Amino acid sequence: MISTSDFRTGLTILLEGEVYTIVDFQHVKPGKGAAFVRSKLKNVKTGAVTEKTFRAGEKVERAVMDKREMQYLYSAGDDYFFMDNETYEQLTISRGQLGNDVKYLKENMTIGVLLFEEKIFGIELPYSVELTVAQTEPGIKGDTASGGSKPATMETGLVVQVPFFINVGDVLRIDTRSGEYIERV
């Protein structure tokens, strides 16, 4: 059990039988009355963000997430296959559990798989991935690196806004947190 005074962004807690990650929190001390903690919690399973207010010093149960390093092997239909880097055990994760993260997965990529009580709750991607441009409008002579952008479809199906000088076959570094173009590799 942890106190609300121990809240930190990214901490996982168990609340009403569900696992939540603390997205944001604020300690509030009004002029009258008792202090409280206003928080934004993200449901790890569904991804829904809710707001909850706790009394100052209230105790909640901490959910200890286990993170295992795994290698993405391949996909078949809506199933994605991963291999544990330590035990070489293979694990199947459905597309529904992965959500939009599937658009950043490349074969043989090492990622963190998040587990709670041996149940898979999702994956933790690296901060950036390198993907090849599969389709985009051709660059026109005179287009510069600054000003304007165009959509580009990556090899995984992800659509990213890129500068005009990017062409099919270019390898780009993409931020997995925001889905934005970082640089050409």
CATH of the domain at 20: 2.30.30.30
What is the percent of the chain where pLDDT is above 70? 95
- Distance from C-alpha of 17 to C-alpha of 136, rounded to nearest angstrom: 46
Domain co-membership, 100 together with 137: no
Domain co-membership, 11 together with 51: yes
Of the three residues 43, 62, 81, the one that is the final residue of a domain is 62
Q: Which domain holds residue 113?
A: 66-124
Question: Is the per-residue pLDDT at 145 higher than 60?
Answer: no
Residue entry with tokens 């993200």: 42
Domain co-membership, 118 together with 75: yes
Of the three residues 109, 124, 139, the one that is the final residue of a domain is 124
Domain co-membership, 9 together with 54: yes
Of the three residues 62, 83, 99, the one that is the final residue of a domain is 62
Provide the pLDDT for residue 115. 83
Provide the pLDDT for residue 147. 67
Domain co-membership, 56 together with 74: no
Q: Residue 18, exposed/middle/buried by CB under 10 A (0-12, 13-18, 19+)? A: middle
Provide the pLDDT for residue 122. 76
150 and 161 Cβ atoms separated by less than 8 Å: yes
Q: What is the tally of structural domains in the chain?
A: 3
Question: Is the per-residue pLDDT at 112 higher than 70?
Answer: yes
Provide the pLDDT for residue 16. 87
Give the three-class secondary structure for 113.
strand
pLDDT, tens digit, for every residue of 159-179? 999 988 888 999 999 998 888
CATH number, residue 178: 2.40.50.140
* pTM, entire model: 0.70
Instruction: Provide the residue type at 123 as one letter.
Output: I
